[in-house]
Amino acid sequence: MSRVHHLELEEIQSVGSFVNETQSIESRKAKDNREDLSHKIRPILRLMKLFGEYYGNISMDEGAQSDSSFFSRFYCGMVLMGQWFLVIQASTSLFFEGLSEMKTFYFLLIFTIWYLQCAAFTTICLVNLPKRRQTKSSCFRRFFDSLLSTSSDFSGKMTHKVYITLTFACTFAFFNTVLLVMLDFYENVSVAGFRPWNGSIAFRFIQLTFSAFGALTWGLACTLLHVSCEFLVRIFDNLAKKTSTESPNVPNIRSLTLEHAKLCETVTLADKVFSPLILLTVILDVPLMCINFHQLVRSPFSSKESIIFIVNVSYWCIGLTVKLAFVMWSGIKVNEKVSGAWSCIRILIRSSL
């Protein structure tokens, strides 16, 4: 009896060690998977944190605490206040001098809309992205965790694409700032040059500084949106491959349907994070494009208009068009993949009948 009991104990211990080893391997894989995904979005979050658009933990580790640094929160608050001050600055100038001349009205209206969009972008990012408390995750953190639960492999070559997109965004912001500086110092045309600011050097400095932050707000938020959409597209592509290779029987169809439903929940979480940004882009970019195009048509190169002003307007027309197309294209790709994956599952269901 004692020998039998001893053999049973050894068997139980071996099973327990096997279970522990399996759990350890799964835990290690989950940790590596989280690290792969975190590594790809970390450069975006780091830049967003540098320019006051994000104050959370950029590592996105499972047990990471929210960033309670007073300086980080204070810095983001100062950037946000500066951007909303630009909205007040432009709208006040529009009220004081906007009706004196149509050219002045369009110029100040363009900056009012642009500053409003930048400030709103930053506000939405500071609300939706960081992990505010340990007991409550942000919308972005819930989307991040759901993305991890729907895929077991994020080791694809996305890092190179992330850096290319970031380079384009930073390049756009840099040239936009350079053109605004040239417009201010060489042509003496600036929002701060109108009443009631009267060209004060302090207000001009504030305007140029936070205009640079605003341009980066556009680029970094759109980059995060694009990268998130690319992850969703790849996950749905993997689901489509499974659908094409699976045999049309009831267990397989049920498994694929559940996986598709889980992916749709992840898309819903992504929609909560990014739909306000997409809505702002569509609502405010379209009038900005129309006004800039009108200014460009009314300011031919043969007139006395400043060449720097014309270059600014042309640059904005191109930049707004590219940004709007970029954002809409990213969203449309995800929508097509969701519909395409469900169509493949429906075909499997019909084949099994």
Residue 275 belongs to some domain of the structure: yes
Residue 76 belongs to some domain of the structure: yes
Q: Which pLDDT does position 19 carry in this prediction?
A: 42
Residue 314 belongs to some domain of the structure: yes
pLDDT digits (tens, 9 = 90+) for 253-287: 777 778 778 888 888 888 888 999 888 988 998 88
Q: Which of 344, 281, 315, 345 is nearest to 116 (CA)?
A: 281
Q: Which pLDDT does position 115 carry in this prediction?
A: 93
Instruction: Provide the 3-class DSSP secondary structure of residue 81.
Output: helix
Question: CB of 266 within 8 A of CB of 239?
Answer: no
Q: How far apart are CA 117 and CA 109, in angstroms?
A: 12
pLDDT digits (tens, 9 = 90+) for 305-323: 577 778 888 888 888 888 8
Identify which has the larger pLDDT, 253 or 154: 253
Residue 323 belongs to some domain of the structure: yes
Which letter, b or e, does each residue of 44-61 get, where b requires 16 or more Cβ atoms within 10 Å of its Cβ? bbebbbebbbbbbbbebe
> pTM of this prediction?
0.82
pLDDT digits (tens, 9 = 90+) for 22-44: 445 445 655 666 777 778 888 88
Residue 13 belongs to some domain of the structure: no
**pLDDT at position 86 over 50:** yes
Exposed, middle or buried, 325 (CB in 10 Å: 0-12/13-18/19+)? exposed
Q: Which pLDDT does position 310 carry in this prediction?
A: 80
Identify which has the larger pLDDT, 215 or 38: 215
- Tell me the residue range of the domain where 265 lies: 42-352
Residue 19 belongs to some domain of the structure: no
Residue 15 belongs to some domain of the structure: no
Which of 20-29, 161-170, 289-298 shows the lowest mean pLDDT across its residues? 20-29
Q: Which pLDDT does position 334 carry in this prediction?
A: 86
Contacts 24+ apart (CB under 8 A), 312-317: 312/179, 312/180, 312/183, 315/175, 315/176, 315/179, 316/110, 316/176, 316/288, 316/292, 317/289, 317/292, 317/293
Q: Of all residues in the chain, what percent are helix, strand and coil, respectively (each to 5)?
A: 80, 0, 20
**pLDDT at position 91 over 70:** yes
Q: Ramachandran region of residue 148, left (φ > 0), alpha (ψ -120 to 50) or beta?
A: alpha
Question: CB of 311 within 8 A of CB of 179?
Answer: yes
φ, ψ for residue 133, nearest 5 deg: -135, 160
Residue 28 belongs to some domain of the structure: no
Q: Which pLDDT does position 23 carry in this prediction?
A: 46
